[in-house]
């Protein structure tokens, strides 16, 4: 049996797109510079050459037009996959996504589906500035009718791409751009995990850390550092941001008694607040300390010279764990 190949997250997404296009001729790719250039991060490299310009389409610089066109294509039976070049460029398409795409299935009482996948590279730590380093996931998660997932490793990147495209609901895939070059084994034969469930990626007994996307490797590093102090920290990769798998988080917290939620987005108004509230409601008598949140500051994304002070790191997760254990 051949070993699963090691791929970067970017190459895993590419492989997932390729497989989806091979399986279904109605899968189309749309976005700025995704054809001949292969996208800013070369995620779609080679796909136009192999599938043609009628299936891998370079679009004008107009995100509202990209998503609006995709809605029309989906209504005609296609499964369009839109790439938004940078996270901050998703906002010109916000109206199409939240007032049209998210609501059409409900508006038609389920008679109409709009299977549109929107790929959004997100997060910072790439040496760039605002509009290119945003974490806008909470803005979209607040809108009912959208499914939102985010891989943290190559295996999930491959399978989540394929699963998003086959889903009859609109799916936003937030891809952690600073992890595009992170390598991992990708088993294209292994049955895929449900993309809308969380996974325990490191078992532990004394506290739970929940993270997703770009911060999962940081949370794992924090758990390893905490182990040196004799603390056993469980790490959960949330994977799905809408819906959120609260059951997996609750089961963990009932065992560990402590919860820290970490994300790269600002703490204020972030998904960590929703997770904290739900777990407090559902597991109040199991908690040994308040649920603590770790996130970025409530400021516009800063210049590259100081972004390492803005984005949560290992030390800030460890500091939150220390505060939790102090109760």
Cα dist from 98 to 22, 30, 146, 148, 170, whole Å? 30, 19, 8, 13, 11
DSSP 82: E
Looking up tokens 């279904």 gives: 24
Active-site residue (options: 54, 131, 132, 142): 132
- Contact criterion met (CB below 8 Å) for 211 and 221: no
How many Å apart are CA 32 and CA 36, to the nearest integer? 10
132 is catalytic: yes
Distance CA 245, CA 253 (A): 13
What is the C-alpha to C-alpha distance for residues 292 and 243, in angstroms, rounded to an integer?
A: 21
- What CA–CA distances, in Å, run from 77 to 80, 99, 103, 190, 262? 9, 20, 17, 29, 39
Nearest to 164 by CA among 271, 83, 92, 56: 83
Closest CA to 55 of 83, 15, 26: 26
Check: CB of residue 217 under 8 Å from CB of residue 156.
no
- The set of catalytic residues is 132
């Amino acid at each position: 049996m051949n070993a699963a190949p090691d791929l970067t997250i970017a190459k895993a997404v590419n492989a997932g797109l390729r497989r989806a296009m091979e399986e279904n001729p109605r899968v189309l790719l749309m976005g700025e510079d995704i054809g001949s250039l292969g996208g800013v991060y070369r995620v779609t490299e080679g796909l136009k050459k192999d599938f043609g310009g009628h299936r891998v389409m370079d679009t004008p610089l107009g995100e509202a037009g990209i998503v609006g066109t995709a809605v029309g294509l989906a209504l005609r039976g296609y499964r369009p996959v839109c790439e938004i070049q940078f996270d901050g460029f998703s906002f010109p398409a916000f109206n199409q996504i939240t007032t049209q795409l998210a609501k059409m299935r409900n508006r038609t009482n389920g008679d109409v589906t709009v299977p549109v996948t929107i790929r959004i590279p997100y997060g910072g730590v790439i040496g760039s500035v605002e509009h290119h380093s945003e974490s806008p996931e909470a803005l979209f998660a607040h809108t009912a009718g959208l499914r939102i997932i985010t891989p943290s490793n190559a295996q999930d990147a491959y399978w989540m791409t394929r699963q998003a495209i086959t889903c009859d609901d609109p799916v936003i895939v937030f891809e952690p751009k600073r992890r595009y070059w992170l390598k991992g084994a990708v088993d294209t034969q292994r049955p895929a995990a449900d993309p809308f469930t969380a996974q325990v990626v490191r078992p532990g007994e004394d506290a739970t850390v929940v993270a997703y996307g770009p911060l999962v490797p940081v949370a794992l590093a924090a758990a390893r550092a905490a182990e040196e102090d004799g603390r056993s920290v469980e790490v959960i990769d949330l994977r799905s941001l809408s819906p959120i798998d609260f059951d997996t988080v609750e089961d963990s917290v009932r065992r560990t008694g402590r919860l820290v939620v970490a994300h790269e987005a600002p703490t204020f108004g972030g998904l960590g607040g929703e997770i904290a509230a739900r777990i407090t409601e559902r597991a109040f008598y199991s908690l040994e300390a308040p649920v603590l949140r770790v996130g970025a500051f409530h400021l516009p994304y800063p210049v590259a010279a100081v972004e390492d002070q803005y984005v949560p790191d290992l030390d800030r997760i460890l500091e939150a764990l220390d505060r939790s254990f102090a109760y």
